[in-house]
A = this chain, B = another copy of it.
């Protein structure tokens, strides 16, 4: 497997390549470095982990690089995901532009508040949390996005794992315990904000 940091950078690179689209046929490591906020060394080193060749004085073939990256990062097919917790953050994610269309299918939302479920207007099906297990299994959802309050995050994570989810993106500040074969990535706003302060 790709080194973790390389993979993380490549996920960002993938987004950048998509935004380049067909606007240019080639892109150099130097140009990519600017768009990525790294150095051209890093770009080339990262790409060297792929089985791909750039062209002298031209750079990399955008569509070829995109396709190779997609394969390396397993984006070759769309993944079904769900969002658990439809508070402000959860609903923000529900219609987050960037999630749409490309690589991910947000196929369900869950909340424990029945009123909230009824009030919500969205094109995505929403369910009560008690249906989590059932719906995840039925729809073959592979990724769970956790946007519930800290108190219920672990419970949700456990249910998601039991229902067959393979990866979890958590916005909760609590450390979730999941089996080691489950991919877990946490984004904690408060920690991030603290980090900014600490680096000032």
Binding site for B on A (CB under 8 A): 2, 7-8, 10-12, 14-16, 34-37, 72-75, 79, 81, 87-89, 91-93, 95-99, 103-104, 142-143, 145, 149, 166-169, 173, 175-177, 183, 185, 187-200
Contact = CB atoms under 8 A, between A and B. Distances in A.
Contacts of A73: 194, 197-198
Of A143, A191, A192, A198, most buried by chain B (CB within 10 Å of CB) is A198
Given A187-B189, A189-B93, A190-B15, A197 B143 contact: yes
Contacts of A169: 189, 192-193, 196
A64 to B, nearest CB: 19
